Amino acid sequence: MTLLLAGDIGGTKTILRLVESSNSLGLKTLYEESYRSGDFPDLVPIVQKFLAAANLSTGNTSTPEKACFAIAGPVVQNTAKLTNLAWFLDTERLAKQLNIPAISLINDFAAVGYGIFGLTTQDLVTLQVGKYQPDAPMAVIGAGTGLGQGFLIKQGNQYQVFPSEGGHADFAPRNELEFQLLKYLLSKHDIQRASVERVVSGLGITSIYQFLRDRQIDTENPEIAQIVRSWEQEAGKAEKTVDPGAAIGSAALEKRDRLSEQTIQMFVEAYGAEAGNLALKLLPYGGLYIAGGIAPKILPLMQNGSFMLNFTQKGRMRSLLEEIPVHIILNQQVGLIGAALSAFRL
């Protein structure tokens, strides 16, 4: 049996999981805990505190043989600097200070890619069955705080996972309303270009709402209006007291605010279009997986046909996209699962 340590490291929260494994398909969770990242000067004291608590809980005093930490940010030559924390992580230093022989750092979206192989059918909702090809590439896209994208290529008997920064590609409007949205974003933020992440993300939901509100497309719901204004007043603060994207999504799902419904409709259309763009570039007949925290929360609105209509609406290439399997990942711990699987492969 191999003792593994998996971590999902973010600017706000760090989640650690101690796992026992005999093979890559048999992962048994022994202990798990979550910590506020900002309460610690570095990852090392978090891991030390976690392992001490895990030893008390499980009675197992062994040190993990391997560890993998999924980082919310780019990983360059086995090092990573977190965007919202003054942490600089280096695998050599971590291995020495934690006394763990093998440690790797991977991008958090690469972890999602690895995590696909640890999911069950209950963890997925299929939007399009398609025509699965076992040796074809796979793709991952996920809207949450930002917009992550990645892909998987089969090499021998295993898939290699590659993260990307595709979420920072240009937003490509396709109709008059989206062209107006683009002009609004450029003017509002005084920028020369707008990335697709500015539209397809939690922040994007708020931006779309602001655009429709300022264009007086419909009357505001007082409750949602107050939440959005509170968020606007907290601009520049590290921590916000409200989450307008979540509030808008809930209001749209419950059909209690027409402006929120229009916002999420526009968001889902743009999400589907961008997923289709990624699919065109990769032809992932091994499956395109939709990750991130937003899709499961507005699941009925992702399933109503609008997402897939915009996914496949690619002119002469429509027939190709209709053959790509498309799934939504419901399990929000897919990154931790992926980190554990990646650790096993070290």
Binding site, annotated residues:
7-12
Contact between 301 and 264 under an 8 Å Cβ cutoff? The reply is yes
DSSP 52-89: HHHHHHH---PPPSEEEEEESS-EETTEEE-TTS--EE
Q: Give the span between the Cα atoms of 298 and 245, in whole angstroms.
A: 11
Contact between 88 and 71 under an 8 Å Cβ cutoff? The reply is no
How many C-beta neighbours within 10 Å does residue 40 have? Answer: 17
Q: Give the span between the Cα atoms of 111 and 104, in whole angstroms.
A: 11
* Residue 188 DSSP symbol: H
Binding residues for ATP: 7-12
Q: Phi first, then psi: what are they for 82, rounded to 5°?
A: -70, 140
Q: Give the span between the Cα atoms of 132 and 142, in whole angstroms.
A: 21
Q: Give the span between the Cα atoms of 185 and 198, in whole angstroms.
A: 8
Contact between 243 and 234 under an 8 Å Cβ cutoff? The reply is no
Residues β-bridged to residue 153: 160
Tokens representing residue 87 in the block: 């942490």
Q: Is 22 helix (H, G, I), strand (E, B) or coil?
A: strand
Tokens representing residue 342 in the block: 């990646």
Residues β-bridged to residue 174: none
Which candidate, 300, 271, 288, 289, places its Cα nearest to that of 204? 271
Return the sign of the alpha-carbon dihedral for residues 320, 321, 322, 325: positive
Pairing of strands 75-76, 79-81: antiparallel
CA 232 to each of CA 60, 126, 170, 219, 240: distance values in angstroms, whole numbers, following the listed order: 49, 36, 25, 19, 10
